[in-house]
């Protein structure tokens, strides 16, 4: 049987232990806030001209917690849960013109359905535009559909939220452009809170992930 003294002693030990644990937890560094304050992305309405022409498009803007003078818009292409290609454009402006907002646009065009100048059958054309202050950068890349996109038989879309990013990186959205049956013969599209979750949950699909990589002015 525990004596009253022993019981009080055990209670003090428990209080001391919990106090130490709380102190140690308080010593852990607080993760830095994500650079993105808000992300706004839009896709064309069903029945739009883009829909009729087999153009998959997403555009929008990112509000930032601090001003930046350099930005890169990056697109990662995944098939079978593995990255098969990456595309990107970037731009910089003078530090004294740093801005707190970045605009972007991404379009994927099926060249088998909508022939464009210089395009070849069996390819998709990916257009990217980045606006940083008064600077506008754009690029165009033709990607073989046997690498990414396939028959473009689907269109899934989900915007990421600011918590999915970091102090320099902002995941914007993902698109699903082709789906394939899984081991059970089922096809589907799944969302996720992070890029890793989206890629893992859609490993039988062709997934495009867009993100911004940003830099504050030098010296900050």
Mean pLDDT confidence for 1-24: 40
Please check whether residues 5 and 71 belong to one and the same domain.
Answer: no
Boundaries of domain holding 18: 1-30
> What SS3 class is residue 18?
helix
Flag whether pLDDT at 181 surpasses 90.
no
What is the reported pLDDT for 212? 96
Please check whether residues 92 and 200 belong to one and the same domain.
Answer: yes
Total number of domains constituting the chain: 2
Flag whether pLDDT at 2 surpasses 90.
no
Please check whether residues 11 and 72 belong to one and the same domain.
Answer: no
Give the residue among 46, 29, 35 at the shortest CA–CA distance from 102: 35
Strand duo 82-92 + 70-79: pairing: antiparallel
Flag whether pLDDT at 78 surpasses 90.
yes
Q: Considering the entire predicted model, what is its pTM?
A: 0.79
Please check whether residues 79 and 23 belong to one and the same domain.
Answer: no
Asked if the structure places residue 220 within a domain, the reply is: no
Give the residue among 127, 126, 139 at the shortest CA–CA distance from 206: 126
Please check whether residues 127 and 185 belong to one and the same domain.
Answer: yes
Stretch among 68-72, 113-117, 141-145 having the lowest mean pLDDT: 113-117
CA distances to 13, 49, 191, 202 from 152, in Å: 64, 17, 18, 15
**How does pLDDT run across 43-56, given as a tens digit for each residue?**
998 888 988 888 99
Mean pLDDT confidence for 130-150: 93
Please check whether residues 109 and 208 belong to one and the same domain.
Answer: yes
Please check whether residues 88 and 116 belong to one and the same domain.
Answer: yes
Asked if the structure places residue 160 within a domain, the reply is: yes
Asked if the structure places residue 1 within a domain, the reply is: yes
In which region does residue 88 sit, left (phi positive, over 0), alpha (psi from -120 to 50) or beta (all else)? beta
Please check whether residues 104 and 155 belong to one and the same domain.
Answer: yes
């Amino acid at each position: 049987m525990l004596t009253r003294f022993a019981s009080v002693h055990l209670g003090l030990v428990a209080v001391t232990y919990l106090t130490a644990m709380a102190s140690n937890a308080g010593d852990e560094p607080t993760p830095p806030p994500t650079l993105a304050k808000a992300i706004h992305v839009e896709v064309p309405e069903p029945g739009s001209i883009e829909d009729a022409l087999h153009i998959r498009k997403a555009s929008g803007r990112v509000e930032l917690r601090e001003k930046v003078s350099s930005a890169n818009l990056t697109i990662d292409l995944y098939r079978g849960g593995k990255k098969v290609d990456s595309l990107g454009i970037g731009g910089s402006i003078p530090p004294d013109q740093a801005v707190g907002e970045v605009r972007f646009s991404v379009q994927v065009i099926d060249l088998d359905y909508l022939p464009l100048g210089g395009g070849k059958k069996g390819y998709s054309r990916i257009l990217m535009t980045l606006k940083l202050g008064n600077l506008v950068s754009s690029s165009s890349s033709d990607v073989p559909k046997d690498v990414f996109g396939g028959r473009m038989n689907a269109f899934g879309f989900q915007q990421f939220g600011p918590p999915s990013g970091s102090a320099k990186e902002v995941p914007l959205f993902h698109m699903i452009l082709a789906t394939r049956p899984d081991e059970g013969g089922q096809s589907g599209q799944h969302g996720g809170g992070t890029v890793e979750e989206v890629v893992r949950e859609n490993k039988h699909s062709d997934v495009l992930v867009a993100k911004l990589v940003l830099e504050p002015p030098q010296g900050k």
